[in-house]
Structure 1
Amino acid sequence: MQDSVKALMVPIGKFPTIKDSATFSEAVVALEQAQQDYQTGKREQRILLVQDESGKIVGKLSPTDVIRGLEPDFDRIVDPKASSFISSGYVIDSMKDLTRLWSTPLDDLCSTAKNVRIRDFLRKPAASQVVNIDDSLNSALHRFVLLRHDSLFVTDGNKLVGLLRFSDVYREIGRRIKEVCTL
C-alpha cells in the first residue's frame, strides 16, 4: 500500500465539533446527536472533534472517553500504555483500596455531569497517533496494528488537516483483495 495517507484521510471540516469547555453532560448529548446524524445520513462522520477556546482541534471524543471521564484520575495513577497489561483483579482492587479511586463514580454521576468539563478528562493525541499527510498507508497501518488506534490525526506540517480512520484503511484492504488479488 504505497499510497499516501492523503488518499484515505477525511478532512477535519467533515467532523462535528465541541468545545473543550463543554460539560460532561453536554459531551454525552453531543455524542448522541453525532451518532443520530450519522445514522440518518445528515452527517458522514460520527467522531466528535474537540476544540479549545481558540478553535484549535485538541483531540477527539468517544463514548469510551466519556466513560473514562467518570474516573478522571485514572491516567494519573496508571500509565495508559501499561493499563492494557493490568488484567488482574488483585492489581485493580489494590489500586482501588490505595487510592479510593472508583469508589462511587455512578453515585456521583449528576455532579460529574454538571461540574466536569471535557478538558478535565480529554486525552491529547499521543505522538504515535499523529501521521503526516504524505506518510505511506503502510506506515499508518503499522500504527493501527501495533498501537491499536481507531484513528490517526493527519497533519500537514504543523497544521491538523484530517483524520485517518481504521475503518477506511480496512475497507481499502478489502477492496484491493477483491479487485487486485487473484482469489
Structure 2
Amino acid sequence: FGSSGWKVIEGSKSLDNFLRSCSNSPRSLLPCYYETLSRLILASSTSSANRGLDMFMHLSPNQEAPSAMTKLMKHARDPVDSIRLSVWSLFSSVADQSWGLTLVADTPGWVDLLCSLDDVNVDVREKRVETANRVVQQPHAKELFGDSRFSRLYATARKSPHTLDPRPPRPDPMVDIAMDHR
C-alpha cells in the first residue's frame, strides 16, 4: 500500500468510509480489511490520520455496539486461520504506534490473549511473538504495562513459535506399561 497510497485517502473522507466498512464487513472480507488497515497504520504520517485511526480503535459506531478493539479481540479467537493471522498483523502494526501502545495497554485482557500462545497455527503464533517483540521494544512499554504484564510480554517475546506446542503432551503408553511392571 505504501505512503503514496495513504496520501490518496489521508486528506479526504475516504479514511472514514474505509474504517466504517471495516467495522461492518462480512467475515469473508475481514482478512483483507485487517491487512489493509495494518498497512494504513504503518504508513500513516500525519497526526490527524493517527488521531482518526486511534478514535476508530477506541470507539464503536453506536453506543450499543462493541468497540473495534473488542471486535478484534473476538476475531483473534476466530476458528479461521486467515482471520486470526490478519488480526495479529493488525495488532502488531498498532503496537508500533505510540497511540496504539497506549490502546493495547489499556485494553483489558489483551496481554492475556497475546501471551497465551495457544494457537495451533504456527504462523499465528509467530505473529503473536512478533507483536510481543514490538511491544517490549517500545521505550515506554514498561511504564504503560507495569512490571508484571511487561515481564509476561518479555517472556513471550523470547519464545520461539516453532517449538511451542499448544496441545498438552499425550501420555506415552510405553511409560505406563513400564511403570506397571515394577
TM-score bracket for this pair, using the shorter chain length = under 0.3
TM-score, L = length of structure 1: 0.25
TM-score, L = length of structure 2: 0.25
More helix by share: 2
More strand by share: 1
